[in-house]
Each structure stands twice: as structure tokens, then as C-alpha cells.
Amino acid sequence: MAQLFRLDLLAPALLAVQSRLRHGFVVLALTLAALAGAALTPAVAGPVIVADIDSGRVLYAKQATDPWYPASVTKLMTAYLTLHALRAGQLRPDAPLTVSARAAAVIPSKMGFKPGVEVTVDNALKMMLVKSANDMAVVLAEGVGGSVENFAGMMNQAAEELGMGQSHFVNPNGLPDPGNRTSARDLAVLARTMLRQFPEYAQYFNIEALQMGKRVYKNTNGLVGRYPGVTGMKTGFICASGFNVVATAQRGGRRLLVVVLGAHSGVERTLIAASLFDRGFADSGWGGPGTLDTLPLPTSASPPDMRDAICGAGRGARGEEEAENAPQSASPLFALFKGGASDWETPVAGRTLPPRAALAAVPVFVGRYPGAPATAVAARRGQAQKGETASAYAADEDASPGAKALQKVKRPVARKNASASKQAEARQKPGKAEAGKKANDKKAHDKKAPAKNAAGKNRKTSDNDG
């Protein structure tokens, strides 16, 4: 009885402990769920838009006309103008472009080629869109527009013609500049226009990986190789903008595009885009706020600066290169808190993506063709004069008559200048006896010169005839 009495006295205490444990677990679970909800809904991202590519109908939009820093999605406009130049015959896919000192000096992400290296238009486009190479964007801008400044003017003219009212571009790669801006709606207009105007070039936007020698560069778009039906297009990141993506996908007979701006990580960017695609393909396509042309005016006049939230203290080093090529594996929180929410505002709850499938790498190279010298002739031989570019001498390696003529003109000039330099150096040496000896030698040489020159002239004529 004594033992039973003691257990009876302990029972209320045990029940109280159990209750507290249960309460603590519930509080912990609710706290984690709240944190997960705050971290995983599109509210943490900035503007988003989902649109039908063929009809232009907007299925969902949030702050889609508000200005935003574009980051590397700027390269879609660079690609747009390059494709125009290809179609117009101003450039050929195999045309060589030379990496300038300006292109080589840009910050990563980039290929890192030295000035004077030649890259074809086709390879530069692939490197820019897959690797997000900032240097290749400059190479294309200089190849199409002559200079970065001229090309920026072309970008802004194109934006105006396309009705991209919130867009302005200062450079071809989206590297930080307060003059760069765009909106989710404008990017959707640009993406839709490119796919409809240039269907023959659509493959540029869905390359899974590039291979140069033994090195493989995976597409910075985390949907590629993960989301069924994805067809492109481009990611972007700078601290001020957060993580951006313009993405396209096809399912059955429908083609959709999604724009996500201002996500807090590459993972979040990818999962929000995937969830918006899920919701878009499940939608009948007849709802939404209208078309790309009828969205409401922006609610702010200038882009927000997300630097502190994205790259502030305690968030680790987040440079442009690291961000563009960060692993895209899903966060465990996405797998833990699964839900069936179908509301556009919370499409990410419970969304996960599988690991990337094996990516098919497309070979790329430097030079005019595989195995060709990578460096322009002037850069290799050191012949470029002040104010000239290496591309001015690129024809030296051609077998054309013009190239051979260029070789005959340029090289003798270099030798003549070298000879003159040696003579000037010799004249500067002191010594009266030596000077007198040179004067006597010159007189003797002048007497023999006519016969020698005539013999040389006859020899040259004979060689050309033979």
C-alpha cells in the first residue's frame, strides 16, 4: 500500500512534465513552421510573374512592373541584339571576335581569357548564356556595337521599341551600376519576343553544360536538368538585386514563362520558379490580371537595394561568381514541411526538386575553329601599334590574297624600323676615331650600292616569275 501511495503522489507530477514536454514540442513545431513559412513563400522574393508565351496572357503577377536591378538577366538583351545581327547578316556564327583589354578586365563570373584571344560569335553566346560570362558579354557588345557605350544605346533603343517601359541598361552584362534597371514584366516581354522572333536560335537558352577541354561548366539555371519540360533561359545575381531568374517551360501544348526577382538564395529562386510553373500548368489559363500590356503601373520609382539583406553581415561571402554557380540542392526544410497549398502566394510550401540528372555538355573552344590558334596575330607577335586593336591583324592567318598582302606590308615596316633603331643607337656611340672609320666605310659602300641594288632587283623579279 505504501508503494501504491507513493506512485499515486507522483502521478500528478509526471502528468505535468508530460504536458510541458508536449506543449514545448508544439511550440517548437509551430515556431519552425512559422520560420519555414516566412522563408519559403514568395513574399521573401521580390516581383514575380507567370505568363503564357503564345497568348501573352498573365496568369499571375506580383509587383511585376516595379523597377528592379536586372543583374545577369541583362544578358538576354545582349543576346537579343546579337541574334538580330546574325539574322541581318552583320555577323556570322563562326565570325571571330577578339577579347579586348576591357573585356578581360571585368569581374567574375567570366571565362578569364587574355586580351587578344579570339572567340567565335557562336561560342561567345554559349559561354555568356550558360556560364554567365561577363567578359563574353563585353566581347559580343563590342562585336555588335563597336563599343560598350554604343551597344548600351542599342539596348535602350530596343527596350523602347519593345515597350519595356521600366528598363534602362548601362552595360551588356548587368554588373552593378545604379543606371541599370528593369522589371519582371519587361523581362517577360523580352523573353517572349525572343522566343517568338528567333525560334531557330532557341537552343542557345537550354544548353545543359559546356565543355572546354577537360573542364565542364554547368548551366547556372538550377531548373535545367531538374524540372520536367524546362526550356531555358537565364539567371542573374548581384547583392543589390538578390537572385533573379527568367525561365521557360513547356508541357503538352502550353508554353509558360516565369520571372522571379529578389530571391534570397539560388535554391529559393529555383524552387519558387518550379512551384510557379506547377501552379501555372495546373491553371486553366483563362484567369489572371490580363496581358503583359495591361498590367498596372509600378508602385515605386527606383529599384530597392537588397545588399544588406542578401550580402550583409553573417551571410558569408557571396560574390557574383559564387552566386551564379552555387549548388542548387533543395533545403531540408522544403522536404520537412510538406503541404498542399495551391494559393499563388504560397506555392513553395513542400516543393522539392530531384538532384540534377547527368548533363549533356556541348563542346566550345577558343580560336576560329577547334584546334586553331586562340590568340590573334598581333597580340602574339607584339605588332599592334598604339591605338590599334589586335583584331586589326587577325587576317594575317588567313590564306586570302588580302592577308598575304598584309603580311608583305606589315613585316618589312617592322624590320625597317628595327634597322633604323640600330643605326640611331650606333650613331649615339662616342669616339672620334670610330666616327671617322664609319664615314670612310659609308663612302666605300655608296660606290658599290648601285650595282648591288640592281642585282637585288633582278633577283626579286626572277623569284616572282618562277
Catalytic residue among 100, 109, 131, 132: 132
Asked whether the beta carbons of 241 and 70 are under 8 A apart, the reply is yes
**What's the number of CA atoms in the CB half-sphere (13 Å) around residue 208?**
12
Cβ–Cβ contacts within 10 Å for residue 458, how many?
A: 10
Residue 279's nearest CA partner among 306, 260, 292, 263 is 260
Write out the three cell numbers for 369.
575553329
Write out the three cell numbers for 44.
521573401
Q: Reduced to 3 DSSP states, what percent helix, strand and coil does the chain have, rounded to the nearest 5? A: 50, 15, 35
Asked whether the beta carbons of 132 and 220 are under 8 A apart, the reply is yes
353/345 Cα distance (integer angstroms): 19
DSSP character at residue 285 = S
384/393 Cα distance (integer angstroms): 8
Catalytic residue among 62, 75, 218, 234: 75
Write out the three cell numbers for 387.
591605338
Q: Is 122 left (phi over 0), alpha (psi -120 to 50) or beta?
A: alpha
Location of C-alpha cell 499515486? 8
Assess whether 342 carries a catalytic annotation.
no
Assess whether 132 carries a catalytic annotation.
yes
Strands 48-52 and 57-62: antiparallel
What's the 3-state SS for 126-156? HHHHHCCCHHHHHHHHHHHHCCHHHHHHHHH
The residues facing 61 across adjacent strands are: 49
283/288 Cα distance (integer angstroms): 10
Assess whether 167 carries a catalytic annotation.
no
Catalytic residue among 72, 100, 109, 183: 72
**Which positions are catalytic?**
72, 75, 132
